[in-house]
Structures are given as structure tokens and as C-alpha cells.
Amino acid sequence: MEGYDGTVRLGALHMNHDRNEFDSGPDVSVSSPVTRQKAAAAKQFIENHYKNYLQGLQDRKERRRELQRQAQEAQISTEEQEEMMRNLERRETEFMRVQRRKVGIDDFEQLTVIGKGAFGEVRLCRAKSTGEIYAMKKLKKSEMLSRGQVEHVRSERNLLAEVDSRCIVKLHYSFQDSDFLYLIMEYLPGGDIMTLLMREDILSEDVARFYIAESILAIHSIHQHNYVHRDIKPDNLILDKKGHLKLSDFGLCKPLDDKYSTILLESEEFTGNESISEADGYSASPWSMPKEKLLHWKRNRRALAYSTVGTLDYMAPEVLLKKGYGMECDWWSLGAIMYEMLIGYPPFCSDDPRMTCRKIINWKTCLKFPGEPKISAEAKDLICHLLCDVETRLGTRGVEEIKAHPWFKSIQWDTLYEMEAAYKPTVTGDLDTQNFEKFPDLEGPPSATATVGPWRKMLTSKDTNFIGFTFKKSDVLKSIGNSDTDVKLHGSSQTPSVISLLGRINLQDTAIPESEQKPDA
């Protein structure tokens, strides 16, 4: 790597034995920002490496103990027990082999484009080895770097890898080549809530209640991991094939600082304290805008979602004002989405994004409800307790205060994800993309960039920025479960087979650092 070798990197780091972590030493404090950045990357690399290594050892021991326990409970002969342990060892070896195997873009067949985002695209893809279908998010590195989004993509990858929740889209792999970062996620074929809202216009309170309730569980699950999303919007809420909702897109927040709020707040000395009214020339409430304007807004909104600017419609005022903000900002966004579901437009929408920004900051005068469509008093009350100051906002003192709101009286929180969804999307097969927009495949076939062999190292050699991005979620037992490495034990009908005993022990979810990935033999 350019001006970079392991010795130098390590030389600039000092292990703090008391705290069992690496600290930057004096060499680093007087060094250039580039060196400091490299040192920080090295620190993270080493910490990840050892954390993963130790975790791997521990998991392995745990699996061995668990199998021994199960074998004893099953009261099978010593020979059979030994055979089981040998079988486990074989699987562990196979697991390590699969883990070491580098996963790259060449392992996937790239199919239909299903989404566009600020930094790249999302498309269906098929794993060549298993035929499994995934959604592949492809992000342009240069774009991420030039717009200071490296930390954001790292947090997205970390969150996806860390949080195992049915409300969060699952990450299977992440890897990179010279130009792009790739996230290989589970494919959710039900489409996103933005598409649903564009199709349906408004939702009934029962349907909206279901989605809002599942969104609450999803948002809460990331808050429990100390993440603040900050950019919750209908395009980030995606439905699985049964119609249950999952949250996606973490941390790739738009650089709103440059685009709107800085211009708005600095050039016009906008403090957020002044009153705002239609008489001042501010555009009318969304619901009193002419129909064509509203249609234009809807069409434009889709384009906006794909642009590098994005939409501000759901962003909390404290985020726009760059005041300190916390998890409560996500509950504001939920209030704005709920308003849109029931009224047809976000509460502060406008043709002009700067106006949206002003309206949000002046929400006290700008939040209004039209006469039509009518919504229940409870719904209105909940919206008003989400779109309000942080101090009075529901959720500021914990999620329970939102869940306890009377609008959710009929919701069975504990079994929500087991219940039938409010709307079941039509999905005809694994490759069905009917619930997504159609995108022209402008890029054509995927680039022929070498991603294997010695070239790969050269191509990625300057990517200290993206160290630690690689992740692999394996389930090798599933993939080799039917192979002839399994030995079925004979015995009474109660005697469990090796397959069934081993099958209960999963070898999965292991993050591997880039360094441990070796080219295929």
C-alpha cells in the first residue's frame, strides 16, 4: 500500500494493557491527518481481527460442548459419540475453509435493477454457487469519499452485521473491489412504502396502524443498539413477501448540511424563531395545492429520492438546525410518515426543498390538518405528539410511551410479526420485481474489473478508507447438510441422527477481516 506497511502502522500504535485496547501514541499526534487516518484504520483493523479471532475460538468450543451435551442426553454409545465429534470437526474444517474463501462480485450474477439511491443502485442478484437470490446494494467509493460518507457506510455495514432482528433487513455479505462497495442483503420482494403510497394515495387507519406499529418495533430495535437512523422515510421501509415491514438503509444520510440548511440558515440568518405564514409568500399547505402540482410533487419525489440530494420531508427540525439530536429525531420522522399515510402528503411538503426546510423549522405554525380526508382524534393526537418539541415528543422517555398511545389500543405488540400483515403483496416467484419501479439498465453488463487473484490486491491497495468493510454471514451447515460428509447413525427410532443433532448447532454470522480472505485455491 502506498507509503504504508504493517510495521509503520503498528509502530504508531501503543497497546494500552489496562484498557485492553490500542491507543494512538505521540508519533501519531504530531503526524499528518493522512497518517492519523491510516493509524485509525490500522487500529480498527487489529481490534476487529482479534475480536473476531477470539470470538471464533469461543464459538467453536461452545459448539463442541453443546454437541457433547446433546449426545449424552441422547444416550448413544461412545463410538457413536466419537463419530459425531469427528463429524463436527470435519464440518468445522469445512466451515473455516468456506470462511477463508473470498467472496466477490464474480460470485454473483447481477440481475434487474430495483432501486436507486444517492450513491449507487440496488439490484437483484443470484449467488452462482447456491442459486440463492439477494438484493445487492452497490456504492461508488469515489462518491462516498468525495462526499465524506465513509463513516456512514461503515455504520450501515456495522449495524446490518450487528443487529439480528426480524425488523431489520439482513446482511449476508459485504465486500469491495477497486471502485465499489457491495452489500449483499436479503431480498424483500414486497416493495417499499414509498411505492405503496404512490400507488394507494392514502391508507386506511387500520392499514397505517399496522405499518406504523411495525416501524416502531424496527426503529426501537436499532435504538437498542445505540444507533440513530436520522433519515427514516418511506423508501427505507420495505415489505417482505408476507407484507411485514423491515427497515433498511442505515447511515447513508444525505449531506444536508451543504445542500440546504447551511444555505438557508446562514445566508438568511434563519434562526427558527420567526413566524411563517402564507402571507409572507410561503407556499400553501400541501393539501391546498392544485391537483396537478401535487401530482408533480409525487412524480418529482421519486426522482428526488434517487438524486444525490434526497428528500428532507421527514427530517426532524433539530437535525436540520444541526442542534444536538438524539433518538427522538426518528420518532419525528415516523410522525411525518404517519401524516402522509393518512393525509396523502408529508406535512411540510413543498415544490421547493428550501421551503420544506423552513416549514419544518416553523412546524408550530405550519403543521395543519385538512378537512378532508378525515382522520380520527386519536390519530391526530398521536401525530401532534410526534411532530413537536423534543421535550414533549412521545418516545423521548422511551418507546413504551408511544406504544401506550390510545391509537394503538388494538395492537398486539408481542405477536405483531406473527400476525397476518395488513396487506399481502403479490409476489409470484423469487425473481419477481413487480412491486418495484422499472429502471432502464443504463450501465449495461457489470464491469470486468478483476476482483480475484493478484490484481485484486493492487486494485484495492489504496483502500485504507474501507478497511473492515468485509463481512460474511455463513451457514455452512445448511449448505453441506445434504452432502455425503454426513454420517447417519443407526440405532433405535428415538436415537437422533448426527444430522439432526448437528443441524441444531449453527455455524454462522462470522465477520472476517479482509486480511484473512485468501484467493481461492
Ligand X SMILES: Nc1ncnc2c1ncn2[C@@H]1O[C@H](COP(=O)(O)OP(=O)(O)OP(=O)(O)O)[C@@H](O)[C@H]1O
User: Annotated catalytic sites, by residue?
Assistant: 231
Is residue 353 involved in binding ligand X (CB under 6 A)?
Answer: no
- Which of 59, 107, 249, 328 is in the footprint of ligand X by CB under 6 A? 249
Is residue 181 involved in binding ligand X (CB under 6 A)?
Answer: no
Instruction: State the nearest-atom distance from the C-beta of 185 to ligand X, in Å.
Output: 4
C-alpha triplet 432, 436, 441: angle, nearest 5°: 90
Q: Which of residues 144-173 bind ligand X (CB under 6 A)?
A: 169
Is residue 332 involved in binding ligand X (CB under 6 A)?
Answer: no
Is residue 42 involved in binding ligand X (CB under 6 A)?
Answer: no
> Stretches 67-75, 109-117, 287-295, 471-479: which one binds ligand X (CB under 6 A)?
109-117
Cβ atoms 257, 322 nearer than 8 A: yes
Cβ proximity to ligand X, 177 vs 235, nearer residue: 235
Q: Give how many residues touch ligand X by CB under 6 A.
A: 23
Instruction: State the nearest-atom distance from the C-beta of 138 to ligand X, in Å.
Output: 9
- Which of 177, 235, 318, 340 is in the footprint of ligand X by CB under 6 A? 235
Cβ proximity to ligand X, 74 vs 139, nearer residue: 139
Cβ atoms 214, 207 nearer than 8 A: no
Pairing of strands 180-186, 171-176: antiparallel
Cβ atoms within 10 A of the Cβ of 517, count? 18
* Residue 221 Cα distances to 165, 166, 388, angstroms: 7, 9, 23
Cβ atoms 198, 305 nearer than 8 A: no
Is residue 238 involved in binding ligand X (CB under 6 A)?
Answer: yes
> Stretches 62-70, 116-124, 333-341, 407-415: which one binds ligand X (CB under 6 A)?
116-124
> Stretches 5-13, 173-181, 230-238, 442-450: which one binds ligand X (CB under 6 A)?
230-238
3 φ, ψ (degrees, to nearest 5): 55, 35
* Residue 470 Cα distances to 112, 154, 513, 521, angstroms: 24, 10, 6, 20
Is residue 136 involved in binding ligand X (CB under 6 A)?
Answer: no
Cβ proximity to ligand X, 99 vs 195, nearer residue: 195
Distance of CA 81 to the CA centre of its chain: 42
Instruction: State the nearest-atom distance from the C-beta of 12 to ligand X, in Å.
Output: 34
Is residue 182 involved in binding ligand X (CB under 6 A)?
Answer: no
Outline where 112-169 has alpha helix (H): 141-146, 150-162
Angle between helices 291-306 and 193-200 (to 10 degrees): 160
Is residue 118 involved in binding ligand X (CB under 6 A)?
Answer: yes
Instruction: State the nearest-atom distance from the C-beta of 256 to ligand X, in Å.
Output: 12
Q: Which amino acid is at 99?
A: Q
Instruction: State the nearest-atom distance from the C-beta of 248 to ligand X, in Å.
Output: 5
Is residue 185 involved in binding ligand X (CB under 6 A)?
Answer: yes
- Which of 236, 333, 362, 470 is in the footprint of ligand X by CB under 6 A? 236
Q: Please report, in range form, the residues annotated as the binding site for ATP.
A: 137
Cβ atoms 301, 345 nearer than 8 A: no
> Stretches 64-72, 112-120, 256-264, 492-500: which one binds ligand X (CB under 6 A)?
112-120
Instruction: State the nearest-atom distance from the C-beta of 191 to ligand X, in Å.
Output: 7
Rounded Cα gap, residues 404 and 61, in angstroms? 44
* Residue 178 Cα distances to 37, 41, 105, 174, 490, angstroms: 19, 18, 11, 14, 52
What one-character DSSP code corresponds to residue 32? Answer: -
Count the helices and strands in the chain (H runs, E runs).
20, 11
Pairing of strands 180-186, 237-239: unpaired
- Which of 38, 84, 102, 115 is in the footprint of ligand X by CB under 6 A? 115
Is residue 177 involved in binding ligand X (CB under 6 A)?
Answer: no
- Which of 12, 39, 84, 135 is in the footprint of ligand X by CB under 6 A? 135
Is residue 502 involved in binding ligand X (CB under 6 A)?
Answer: no
Cβ proximity to ligand X, 120 vs 344, nearer residue: 120
Residue nearest to ligand X (CB): 117
**Three-state DSSP class for residue 139:** strand
Q: Which of residues 362-421 bind ligand X (CB under 6 A)?
A: none
Angle between helices 78-100 and 33-73 (to 10 degrees): 160
Instruction: State the nearest-atom distance from the C-beta of 207 to ligand X, in Å.
Output: 19
Cβ proximity to ligand X, 167 vs 185, nearer residue: 185
281 Rama class: left (phi>0) / alpha (psi -120 to 50) / beta: left
Q: Please report, in range form, the residues annotated as the binding site.
A: 137
- CA-nearest of 274, 158, 286 to 222 is 158
Q: Which of residues 428-447 bind ligand X (CB under 6 A)?
A: 436
Instruction: State the nearest-atom distance from the C-beta of 250 to ligand X, in Å.
Output: 9
- Which of 221, 248, 350, 356 is in the footprint of ligand X by CB under 6 A? 248
Distance of CA 419 to the CA centre of its chain: 24
- Which of 107, 192, 328, 514 is in the footprint of ligand X by CB under 6 A? 192
> Stretches 204-212, 246-254, 320-328, 478-486: which one binds ligand X (CB under 6 A)?
246-254
Instruction: State the nearest-atom distance from the C-beta of 418 to ligand X, in Å.
Output: 21
Cβ proximity to ligand X, 62 vs 151, nearer residue: 151
Cβ atoms 329, 319 nearer than 8 A: yes
| Burial of 17 (C-beta count, 10 Å sphere; 0-12/13-18/19+) | exposed
> Stretches 142-150, 186-194, 356-364, 383-391: which one binds ligand X (CB under 6 A)?
186-194
* Residue 215 Cα distances to 89, 122, 244, 315, 417, angstroms: 42, 22, 10, 16, 11
| Residues that bind ligand X in the complex, under the rule CB under 6 A | 114-115, 117-120, 122, 135, 137, 169, 185-188, 192, 235-236, 238, 248-249, 252, 310, 436
